[in-house]
Amino acid sequence: MVDLLVYALASVGIFFLFVAAIGVVRMPDLYNRMHATSKAGTLGVGLILVAVAVFYHELSVAARALSALAFIILTAPVAAHALGRAAYLSGVKPCEDTYIDELAGHYQKNHRLESVEVKPPVADPSE
Amino acid sequence: MSFLEGALLALTLTLPFAVYRLVKGPTLPDRVVGLDLITSVSVAMAALYALVSGQTAFLDVAIALALFAFLATLGLARYIEYRGHKGD
């Protein structure tokens, strides 16, 4: 029974790692590819680590597996955000199907986000 | 061949996709994304090998690999952001 649960968790984890690998090859631009690795990849690795924690009925092993899982869940969004910000600031363009770039014109020369002074246009009530 | 050994073999089939992105590019952040996926698959393989071999020390390998992947991605992101800017 426990073996079946372990096999199911490992299989689903491997499936999501496959999804991440296919997404990294097939997605049109860098920002879409980062979605594939940081979401599907993290889920796949996490499910495999949960399978390890279920398989061994020891507290020390389960604690190590779950702490590895917690570390990955905490660091994957940070790494993806840092990489996406660096790519955007170094001029990597989104794919051609992208038609809204809300960050355009909001970054200053020193890579600070300027969100206060640039206001969206307000509709004139007199018209 | 047991089920978990087959799973380990299936996991290696995801590596060529990531290596394709690492080699092809076209930009430097794309290559870092490919490298990130390679290390994610390596962490999963270390964890699965802890199941196959029964040696739980491979979980420590997985933790250390995840830590190094995080630090490498942050360092490469900082390099991509600030290359060409003298004095930063």
- pLDDT tens for each residue of B28-81: 889 999 999 999 999 999 999 998 888 889 999 999 999 999 999 999 999 988
Report the chain A residue with the minimal C-alpha distance to residue B65. Answer: A68
Q: Are the Cβ atoms of B40 and A85 closer than 8 angstroms?
A: no
Residue A11: the pLDDT is: 92
Q: Residue A58 burial (CB < 10 Å; 0-12/13-18/19+)?
A: exposed
Q: Are the Cβ atoms of B11 and A22 closer than 8 angstroms?
A: no
Q: Which residues of A touch B51 (CB under 8 A)?
A: 6, 10, 51-52, 55
Select the residue from A27, A45, A66 to test the B interface by mutation, using most B Cβ atoms within 10 A: A45
pTM for the whole thing? Answer: 0.85
Residue B87: the pLDDT is: 46
Greater confidence, B2 or A48?
Answer: A48
Residue B3: the pLDDT is: 84
Query: How many Å lie between the alpha carbon of B88 and the closest alpha carbon of chain A?
Result: 10
Helices A2-26 and B28-53: angle between axes, nearest 10 degrees: 160
Q: Residue B31 burial (CB < 10 Å; 0-12/13-18/19+)?
A: middle
* pLDDT tier, A19 (very low <50, low <70, confident <90, very high otherwise): very high
* pLDDT tier, A69 (very low <50, low <70, confident <90, very high otherwise): very high
Query: How many Å lie between the alpha carbon of B74 and the closest alpha carbon of chain A?
Result: 6
Residue A122: the pLDDT is: 63
Q: Give the Cα separation of B73 and B34 in Å (integer).
A: 11
